[in-house]
Structure 1
Amino acid sequence: MEVQAITRYARMSPKKVREVVRTVQGRKASEAVDLLTLIPRKSARLIVKTLKSAIANAENNNNLSADSLVVKSAIVENGPVLKRFKAGARGTAMPRRKKMSHIKIVLSDGNSN
């Protein structure tokens, strides 16, 4: 059975989040949480929050054991972009693009139902 959790509109660029998500795919869920708590990056904290939510969904909604869960896929998609401007040299405006991401984590217990 598969269980998922999605964090939408996370204020971090998808490229930065994908770097950390690659380390989690295919691991046991409990092992992935331990690994992510050791990574000193903001994106790791966002992924841990989503992963813990997916584990809670599996335990509460589907009566699955947290020990048997494996991270089947972890996907980071582009969210909307906030377009802002900052003052530049000689009275010009320099554009700033503040990117957002959508983080989706799918857990599986190994049984294909």
Structure 2
Amino acid sequence: MEAVAKLNNYPTGPRKMRLLADVIRGMEVEKALAILEHHPQHNAVPLAKLLKSAISNWEQKNSGASAADSSLVVKTVFVDGGRVLKRMRPAPQGRGYRVRKRSNHVTLIVDSKN
């Protein structure tokens, strides 16, 4: 039985988050957590928290079963674009350049291996 966890409107670009999502996709949960905890990219912290949330959701769905006993796998991870905050930056000769501050939505699904 699979469990889902979602992270909405995290203020970083979706392309940066997809780099980390590609690393942990299909991995065992313990290995993915170890990689995320020691990864230098700043997006690794919320992704690790999201993975822990998905694990606890799985444990609540399968009452009594612990994630350590069963072999949990990161089944799917996908990153979608979230809202975009549009800001203006001063530019030469009285003009203004548009700055697009992007955010993303991450959906993570864990499932047992068998």
Specify the code of the residue in structure 2 equivalent to 1:42. Answer: H
CA deviation string 1:58-82 (max 9, x = no partner)? 1123234212210001110111111
Distance 1:36 1:60 in 2: 23
Question: What is the CA deviation profile of residues 22-65 of structure 1, one whole-angstrom value per residue up to 9, with x for unaligned ones?
Answer: 11011111110101111111111121111111011111232342
Q: CA deviation at 1:15?
A: 0.3
Counterpart residue type for residue 93 of structure 1? G
Return the match for 1:101 from 87, 100, 104.
Answer: 104
Q: Which TM-score applies when normalising by structure 2?
A: 0.91
CA RMSD of aligned residues (A): 1.1
Displacement of 1:95 in angstroms is 0.4
The answer for the alignment partner of 2:67 in structure 1 is 66
| Greater shift in the superposed pair: 37-46 or 2-11 | 37-46
> Would the aligned equivalents of 2:9 and 2:83 in 1 still touch at CA under 8 Å?
yes
Partner of 1:5: 5
- 1:70-109 Cα offsets, whole Å, 9 max, x none, are 0001110111111110111122111000111001100001
Alpha-carbon distance in 2 for matches of 1:98, 1:18: 17
Runs of 4+ in 1 over 3 A off after TM superposition: none
Query: How many residues align structurally?
Result: 111
